[in-house]
Structure formats: structure tokens, C-alpha cells
Amino acid sequence: MSRIGKRPVEVPSGVEIKMDGNTINVKGPKGQRVFNAPSDVVVAMEDGAVTVQPANDTKRARQMWGMSRTQVENCIKGVSEGFTRKLAIQGVGYRAQAQGKTLKLSLGYSHDIDFAIPEGIEVKTPKATEIEVSGIDQQLVGQVAANIREWRKPEPYKGKGIRYEDEYIFRKEGKKK
């Protein structure tokens, strides 16, 4: 039995949910999300909360139960609060600057990198060495942050590169004479 799937998802004020079969439309102050639940689960609205139950007793229905509940919860959280992923840049001369729908990265290459920001994502650079990626889709926010980090992953000797704000880089000792 799914411990996550059993819990109902509370709907905060200001969030509107419309259900049409297994299609859930979530509308809130930050935007609108649509989630198509698999046919193995039954989604219902009860007492201001969304509940997810398995449609039958198959293994796949039990697998989809907790995942579908989490997806619904992420849709609700995304349109009400949003998701943010912070990146930190370390290294001499490494910097970032948001310019409209592009992020200009200077990462020690012979040229600057112009990273195109996808639709639905907002990128801010409060400092030249900090990047904030935010949006209503948790998966898309994480993927964009990972794509930015991919340009210069942190190296273990000096720690130079782009890292997540809460990431710990295991440091190695260099060569000795």
C-alpha cells in the first residue's frame, strides 16, 4: 500500500481545479498546468482535497498511485508557489548575466555562451556569480538548471565551475613533489 498515495492533496485558496475524466486542469495565481493521470488510477475531489486511488489491484496501478499523487501535488504547488533552483558559479572570471530570453555565460572558454531560456522559465542573476531558475513546472526547472550546469561542471581540485547552491563538491588533493 502506498504511503504517499494514501494522503489527500490539500488545495490552497486561490487555486482552482477542474477535472474531466483523468485530465486535471490546475489554475492558480502563477499560471495553469494540465496533468493527464494514467488510466490505472482514479482521481477525485473530496472536501477541498484531491484524492488518488488505484483503479484495480494490478502491480502497475500500485506503481502509478503514488507517482500520480505526487504529480498532482507538484501541479498545485507550482501554480501557487512555483519552483526555484539556485546555481552558484565559482572561478576567476566566470560570470553570468540574464539578457531577456537569453543567459550569457562567461565560463573560461574562448567565447561567451548564449543559453536560450525556454518558454515558461524565468532566469534571474542577482549577482554575477548567482543564477536563479524558476517556473511552475518542477521537471522543466530542474532540467534547465541541469543544462546550465552542464556547460562547466565543478571540478574536484579547485571547485571551479557551476554547481547547485546546496551541492557539496568532494575536494581532492593535488600532486605533491
Residues 123 and 102 in one domain: yes
Q: Where are the alpha helices (DSSP H) in the chain?
A: 3-6, 59-80, 138-150
Residues 74 and 98 in one domain: no
Q: Which domain holds residue 107?
A: 83-164
Name the domain count of the chain: 2
Residues 69 and 104 in one domain: no
What is the average pLDDT across 106-134? 94
Q: What is the reported pTM?
A: 0.88
Banded pLDDT at 1 (limits 50, 70, 90): low
Q: How much is the pLDDT for 157?
A: 93
Q: List, in sequence order, every residue forming a beta bridge with 164; answer none if it has no partner.
A: 87
18-57 pLDDT tens trace = 998 889 999 999 999 999 999 999 999 988 899 999 999 8
The CATH number of residue 69's host domain is 3.90.930.12
Q: What is the residue-averaged pLDDT of the chain?
A: 92
Residue 114 burial by CB count (10 A; 0-12/13-18/19+): exposed, middle or buried? exposed
Residue 100 burial by CB count (10 A; 0-12/13-18/19+): exposed, middle or buried? exposed
Q: How much is the pLDDT for 32?
A: 93
* Cβ count near 77 (within 10 Å): 20
Q: Could you tell me which of 131, 122, 125, 19 has the C-alpha nearest to residue 78?
A: 122
Q: Could you tell me which of 124, 145, 92 has the C-alpha nearest to residue 153?
A: 145
CA 10 to chain centre: 20
Non-local (6+) Cβ contacts of 65 within 8 A are 2, 5, 40, 41, 52, 53, 54
Residue 24 inside a domain? The answer is yes
Residue 38 inside a domain? The answer is yes
Residues 99 and 144 in one domain: yes
